[in-house]
Amino acid sequence: MRMAADAGPHTTLFGLEVTDDAGYTQYRCAMEQILARHGGALGCDFVVARNPDAGFPSAPACAGQTSE
């Protein structure tokens, strides 16, 4: 018997309070590589609120970075 959940990919949403933008970017870059090795992926980052004094980058800056 197949269940509807067996039909395809699953998406899970998490809410995070990012207090270290550079650290989060580094974490995200490393996680993208780990998840890709296991057939997973990170989707989108949604910014709900932004502290104008925090200096949050407009997009992850991990192009060309490796975690090895």
Task: Please check the confidence at residue 60 and state whether its pLDDT lies above 70.
Answer: no
Task: Please check the confidence at residue 30 and state whether its pLDDT lies above 90.
Answer: yes
pTM score of the predicted model: 0.57
How many Å apart are CA 38 and CA 12, to the nearest integer? 16
Residue 67 per-residue DSSP state: -
Q: What is the mean pLDDT of the chain?
A: 76
Do residues 9 and 19 touch, judged by C-beta distance below 8 A? no
Closest CA to 60 of 33, 31, 22: 22
Q: Where are the domains of the chain?
A: 17-52
pLDDT at res. 68: 46
